[in-house]
Amino acid sequence: MERREFITLLSSAGIAWPLVARAQQSTMPIVGFLSSRSPGDSSEVVAAFHKGLRQMGFVEGQNTIIAFRWAEGHYDRLPKLASDLVNLRAAAILAAGGSPSAVAAKAATAIVPIVFLVSDPIRLGLVTSLNQPRGNVTGISNVATELAGKSLGLLKQTIPTAQTFGYLMNPSNPIAKTFFDEAQAAANKLGIQLRLNRRADELRNEFGRLISPSGHLCRSSFKR
């Protein structure tokens, strides 16, 4: 986020004008920060967020209030957190932490400007077009879904004799199925199978089967 200069993202979203309008009122404008993650693993994003606002002349505690809402990995909390920001009459909302936050924010309001950073905003229903997003939602698409298939191809090159690969997916993430579909399409082309794991305990059991007591991967696991 720092590399992209957060100020560019805010300006392109047209968020400056509602902030300026509310700054002229008696109370300071509120900017919402909605994240599916926790403060501990979002320090760089928060720093970039502060920097972008400062470059537009908005400093927290001086002429702007920033309302942070953290889901801390519990996606089911996001709808209520997004509604909280709308009820606070936030001038704008940054949906951080990927697609879960963006989807929840869009569902909460059709008026408050929302900025996102997601993989496939069109497939998620956030925008109708990358060139003309329309509505109150805009942001950056990193097109990361293609990496699922490319990563699988690299794994196959690394272990050419392998016929089955595990795939860990959080089904509560709105973009999870899109990533899996990309990986499955690549698997079909490569002639390999994907073993889908949806829960952490499934992953632990799988690693327990593949890893020997000494901590090394069992060679036999790559010959199936």
Phi-psi domain of 72 (left: phi exceeds 0; alpha: psi -120 through 50; beta: other): left
pTM tops 0.95, yes or no: no
Q: Using one digit for the tens of pLDDT, what is the confidence trace for 89-142? A: 999 999 998 889 999 999 999 999 999 988 778 778 888 877 777 889 998 876
| Residue 217 predicted with pLDDT over 50 | no
Alpha carbon separation from 209 to 49, 174, 197, 214, 222 (Å, rounded): 43, 30, 14, 13, 12
pLDDT digits (tens, 9 = 90+) for 172-214: 777 777 778 878 888 888 888 888 776 656 556 655 655 444 4
pLDDT for 59-95, tens place per residue? 999 999 999 999 999 999 999 999 999 999 999 999 9
Quick one: CA torsion of 11, 17, 19, 20, rounded to 10 degrees?
A: 120
Q: Given the DSSP bridges, would you call strands 92-96 and 193-197 parallel, antiparallel or unpaired?
A: unpaired
**194: three-class secondary structure by DSSP:** strand
| pLDDT of the residue at 2 | 44
Residue 97 near residue 71, CB atoms below 8 Å: yes
pLDDT at position 111? 95
Domain 6-141 listed as CATH 3.40.50.300: no
Please state the rounded mean pLDDT for residues 138-162. Answer: 80
Residue 164 phi/psi, 5° resolution? Answer: -135, 135
Q: What is the mean pLDDT of residues 48-68?
A: 93
> What are the CA-CA distances from residue 14 to residues 160, 173, 197 (Å)?
49, 28, 41
Give the Cα separation of 53 and 64 in Å (integer): 9
Q: How high is the mean pLDDT of the chain?
A: 78
Strand blocks (E) in the chain: 30-35, 65-70, 92-96, 114-118, 137-141, 164-168, 193-197
pLDDT band at 153 (very low <50, low <70, confident <90, very high): confident
What's the rounded Cα separation, in Å, for the pair 37 and 119? 17
Domain regions of the chain by residue span: 6-141, 146-222
Number of other residues whose CB lies within 10 A of the CB of residue 202: 14
**Planar angle of CA 164, 199, 172, nearest 5 degrees:** 110
Residues 17-39: tens digit of each pLDDT: 455 444 444 488 999 999 999 99
- 75 φ/ψ angles, rounded to the nearest 5 degrees: -60, -25
Residue 43: C-alpha distances to residues 15, 35, 50, 104, 193 (Å): 22, 12, 11, 22, 38
Q: Which residues does residue 5 pair with via DSSP β-bridges, in sequence order?
A: none
